[in-house]
A = this chain, B = another copy of it.
Amino acid sequence: MEGRQGGKAGLQARVGGSCEKWGFSPGCLNKEMNASLKPAVFGATGYSGFELVRLLARHPAASKPILVRRDGESGGYVDLSEAYPQLAGNGGFPFQNFSWQQMKNAGVDVVFFATPHEFSRELAPEAIAQGFRVIDLSGAWRLKQTENRAVYGFAENPEDAPLDSSAVYGLPELHSCEIKSAKLLANPGCYATSIILALAPWIRAGFVDVEHGIVCDSKSGVSGAGKTPSTKTHFVEIDGDFSAYSVFGHRHSGEVLEQLGIGGGSLQFTPHLLPIPRGILSTIYVKLAKPVTSEELEQALVGFYAGKPWVRVFGAARLPQIKFSLNTNYCDIGFSLSPDGKRAVLVSCLDNLLKGAAGQAVQNMNLMFGLDEKAGLQ
């Protein structure tokens, strides 16, 4: 019993403060629509970075992003369209050498880090100090508990403690209020997004026997492993294959535990590598804490995500598939109740580069700057 209550308490604690409930909070101040938002992007050559540039380039309220590189960090490219000829015919996406002063002069409002976590851990504090708002797509600032951060191997710099504390976990369906005023936004992990969004409504409703243990069997496309070539991402190795990895040890576990307020012993999370370029499907097995109908389970999802434009509830009639959410910012959620009513399976899908990374980052930018949550994402 304690574990289950602990789950709910934890969820509330994460939300708490001046915002009284999860989700959209009408009491929060909305800035005026800012039609000329100026973004800058570190790490544009990676898969998430490229998607981010594509989204920002056609965002109705943002001007063309500035692509920033430090020495050698753009892979030797002068323009992003050299790495991604998909961008040809759109006027060029030149890299600029890194300079806070030039970014200020250019009127940058928000700095995105689509970089390794070490990079973000180093430069995000500087960016904040320079007065920029920061959206970080890495795992550098997502975790509140020091022991959970340990998996990343950071040196824990005492000067970073205030930022670790004030950084906002950017899952808009849970934290829209804090996101609006965030200075440092930690964009969630792709697996974590698929798991937290599926489980949060039922855990909050008290439907899940958390103490019994939750199994999250997740499967991701290869872009989740990044663009750096390795034997593990070689086409000949991946095609026709399928494998589990990081059993009991994946970095995203900490996010799930902290966000759902559950203890480590209650979660078994196994990621797998799918032979597809993008997309995540999580199959989540729960024991129900009390008798509940399929309609109640569905209503808990529907009610939780009412007014949330980027979650689609498929319910019990049809399960989501990876393809349905590809190239969109949706997280799709469906479920099935066991015939004896004691157990249920949740299935959630999303595009790991969009709702799992760049799309969610833009969704967060929209909230941070008082824009329509859907702007630039349709």
Contacts and interface: CB of A to CB of B under 8 A. Distances in A.
Interface residues of A, number: 72
A339 interface: yes
26 contacts: A58-B378, A85-B320, A86-B325, A86-B328, A212-B212, A227-B234, A229-B229, A229-B234, A234-B235, A235-B235, A235-B277, A237-B323, A239-B275, A240-B323, A241-B276, A242-B274, A242-B321, A243-B323, A247-B319, A268-B285, A268-B345, A270-B285, A274-B275, A275-B275, A275-B276, A285-B285
**List of 10 A-B pairs having minimum Cβ-Cβ separation, nearest first:** A243-B321, A229-B229, A241-B323, A247-B336, A217-B217, A235-B238, A222-B235, A85-B324, A242-B322, A236-B277
Given A85-B318, A217-B217, A241-B322, 16 more contacts: A86-B328, A217-B285, A219-B272, A222-B235, A223-B236, A227-B231, A229-B230, A233-B235, A239-B239, A240-B240, A242-B276, A242-B322, A244-B281, A244-B347, A274-B275, A327-B327
Interface string A80-94: 000001101100000
A16 interface: no
A337 B242 CA distance: 21
Given A227-B236, A234-B233, A338-B248, A243 B274 contact: no
Contacts of A328: 86
A142 interface: no
A308 B345 CA distance: 35
Contacts of A189: none
A247 B339 CA distance: 10
A330 B233 CA distance: 25
A83 B230 CA distance: 14
Contact of A265 (B85, B221, B233, B342): B342
